[in-house]
Structure 1
Amino acid sequence: MKILAISGSLRSQSTNTVILREALKLAPTNVETVLFEGLADLPHFNPDLDTDTPPKAVQEFRALLKSSQALLVCSPEYIHGIPGSLKNAFDWIARSGELDGMPVGIINATPSMDGAGYAHEALKEVLKVLSNRLVPEAILIVSAVKTKIQNGQIVDSQLKNTLSEALKALTDATQQSK
């Protein structure tokens, strides 16, 4: 089984990417995990380019999704929404169907105490349209994230436990859908 993870942030030291890297380490041992690092390489979505042979970066992204059995997305909130680069990635797969029926987990991380509620709801809405299966136990908001990460590692044991439970729920949902 393979879980693909996508960080909605392009920053090299993004807390969202740190959360995903650390979360993927907590996946069950029989699960292969892959962090998609090509978000910035995807061209702006253009329906004229969404043909039988879309741009190479799009082909690679779609192939990676097709070879995965579950998806985990971790995104910041930008101006009460999800980052444009993440939305762009989802635009590229809206018609091709790679997420049809796939179990999906969502994490929204924010430095604020009041959460990333707008981005969280926006991300859930975008993913609902893509016909996947959101796994409720793998949907999280991580508030005050900068207090939970130090030197590129999660130092908050409660967050580690929550992430571990979310990965297990995502894995279980994937096994149930076989």
Structure 2
Amino acid sequence: MIEIIAISGSLRAASTNSALVAALAVNAPENCRIEVYDGLGRLPIFNPDDEGERTPPEAAWLIEAVTRADGVIVSCPEYAHGVPGGLKNALDWLVSRDAAVGKPAMLVHASPRSLYARAALSEIMRTMSFALYEEAALEIALLGKKPAEIKAILAEGANREAMREAVRSFAGFIGDER
């Protein structure tokens, strides 16, 4: 079984990115289990003085979850042409750890307009030594949709298959990276 942790970079209750990672978990192929991380808003602001024995419990949980996972999927909105602070903060907690080094990661997108955030997040994750999988891009346009519309779009057969295929392809990449 391939274990994947999925992180939405949004804290909004009606987040399209959170809806997308939740749908990925539901539609994962049989050989994959996707755990959706929902602790982004509970993470304290990263401070290098709080590492080691002083690592806060929520940060320690994230570090352990990423370390334990075979791969990471991130779906991220764009705020002011950049990566939201909450997601960047989560990544900062991983910087001085081995959790990210060589860890397969894939970015998925709920908006075709988040080009600056995509580029910035790719750069951040490469710098952290994630093994970024870029062969198959999954983008399901959910921006501006109401929750009922999002649910219907994510339930469409073609989108469910696209999600399964993206995760299946990513799982193959994970296997190659092991």
Structure 1 residue runs of 5 or longer lacking an equivalent are: none
Residue equivalent to 1:164: 164
% identity of equivalent residues:
30
Aligned residue for 1:150, secondary structure, equals helix
Residue equivalent to 2:175: 175
Distance 1:33 1:47 in 2: 29
Aligned residue for 1:107, secondary structure, equals strand
Residue equivalent to 1:72: 73
The structure-2 alpha-carbon separation of the partners of 1:72 and 1:138, relative to structure 1 and needing over 3 Å to count, comes to farther
Distance 2:140 2:83 in 1: 15
Structure number with higher helix proportion: 2
Distance 1:166 1:85 in 2: 25
Distance 1:115 1:18 in 2: 17
Distance 2:109 2:149 in 1: 20
Residue equivalent to 2:26: 25
8 A contact 1:2–1:68 mirrored in 2: yes
Aligned residue for 2:96, secondary structure, equals coil
Normalising by structure 1, report the TM-score.
Answer: 0.89
8 A contact 1:7–1:36 mirrored in 2: yes
Distance 1:171 1:150 in 2: 30
Matched pairs, number: 175
The structure-2 alpha-carbon separation of the partners of 1:149 and 1:104, relative to structure 1 and needing over 3 Å to count, comes to farther
8 A contact 1:148–1:156 mirrored in 2: no
Aligned residue for 2:73, secondary structure, equals strand
Amino acid at match of 1:65: V
Provide the aligned C-alpha RMSD in A. 2.0
